[in-house]
Amino acid sequence: MLKKVAIAFGVVMLLVGVLGFIPGITTSDNLLLGIFKVNAIHNIIHLLTGAVALYVGMTSYKSSRVYFQVFGIVYALVAILGFFYGDGDILGIVSSNMADTILHIVIALAALYFGFASKAEEMAM
């Protein structure tokens, strides 16, 4: 099950990364779906994150679990930085706004659950 979650997560992240580059879906002021602040680096990060999720999802349960552990921690840190930087560029690189920060919290919590709290028996099915 965890491998399938990683694959699904990868597909969604790849889709978000691609959509971030499409005019009309991303507004002229770089708001994906008119809500989430993105820039080219932000979109590339989504694409890379999605590609890695697909890879680990096709590899093994253990690699999927480690992916979610690392990804959960990283996104939790990104969310914290989002509160610090507000509606600006995190570390001067990745565009972000409060909608991004809230979404990063949700993603971090889900990833941390899949990485740390989920039971191997539940996820291996």
Q: What is the pLDDT of residues 27-48, one digit of tens each?
A: 999 999 999 999 999 999 999 9
Residues 91-113 have pLDDT tens digits of 889 999 999 999 999 999 999 99
Q: Which long-range contacts (CB under 8 A, 24 or more apart) does 99-102 make?
A: 99/35, 99/36, 99/37, 100/36, 100/37
Residues 77-90 have pLDDT tens digits of 999 999 999 888 89
Contacts with 121 (C-beta within 8 Å, 6 or more apart), sequence order: none
Tokens for 4?
């399938």
Residue 125 in this model has a pLDDT that exceeds 50: no
pTM for this prediction: 0.88
Residue 23 in this model has a pLDDT that exceeds 70: yes
Cα–Cα distance for residue pair 75/50, rounded to 1 Å: 14
Cα–Cα distance for residue pair 79/76, rounded to 1 Å: 5
